[in-house]
Amino acid sequence: MTAKKVFSEMTSWIKALFFAIMLALLIRAFVIEPVRVDGPSMNDTLATGQRLVVFKTSYLLGQPARGDIVVLEMNTDEKASWIPFIGRKQSELDYIKRIIGVPGDVIDLQNGQVIRNGERLQETYAKGLTYPSKISFPLTVPDGRYFVLGDNRTNSSDSRYFDCIEQHRVRGKAVFRFYPFDVIGIIK
């Protein structure tokens, strides 16, 4: 093999590797992103250390729905949250919560229970009772906002503390758990 052929072969491998890396980075930045669960707010549905796949494109054509488990961008320092060519870095201020109320819903908390639009929710996933905190109830979820709660109601910083979350803070829908291997599967 001549030096020219070796150089040509190496150049084509470098180009292929470069395009593969760029494609992977674009997919991570705009389509899917792995996230790590950190904290007890979604126990027993999700546990600290579990790894999830978040679809960032879930809400391009539709709106978040009641029951969706979503990753919320809570970092207020927008400049610090982006890494060039990769997208945003995961912040310890990201939250994973369940959407309970969508725009127009009336949410009330009575006797530890969640009442949405006058009906008591049957929340088999919830751990503990749901009591108000800093927000007054009943409340109507404003346009462009969502009422979110952690499944572990006794240990969750959620809309009871920071009010309804703006839609632009919803980074994506958590749809698949890929680690640890004994709990791999679709998230419900």
Identify the active-site residue in 97, 127, 156, 173.
Answer: 97
Are both 13 and 59 inside the same structural domain? Answer: no
CB 164 within 8 A of CB 128: no
The confidence score (pLDDT) of residue 32 equals 85
Both 136 and 178 in one domain: the answer is yes
Contact at 8 Å (CB) between 88 and 81? Answer: yes
Check residues 126 and 1 and name the one with the higher pLDDT.
Answer: 126
Of 41, 58, 156, 159, which is the active-site residue?
A: 41
Residue 53 and residue 64 in one domain: yes
Together in a domain, 65 and 95: yes
Higher-confidence residue of 24 and 171: namely 171
Q: Is 41 a catalytic residue?
A: yes
pLDDT of 84 over the 50 cut: no
Q: Which domain holds residue 178?
A: 32-186
* pLDDT value at residue 91: 52
- Residue 83 belongs to domain with CATH number: 2.10.109.10
97 and 124 fall within a common domain: yes
Q: Is the pLDDT of residue 164 over 90?
A: yes
- DSSP letters, 144-156, are TEEEEE-SBTTS-
95 with 59, same domain: the answer is yes
Q: Check residue 90 and give its pLDDT.
A: 53
What is the model's pTM?
0.81
- Looking at the fold, whether 9 and 67 belong to one and the same domain comes out as no
pLDDT interval class at 23 (50, 70, 90): confident
Query: Domain tally for the chain?
Result: 2
86 shares a domain with 13: no
26 with 36, same domain?
no
Nearest to 96 by CA among 139, 145, 51: 51
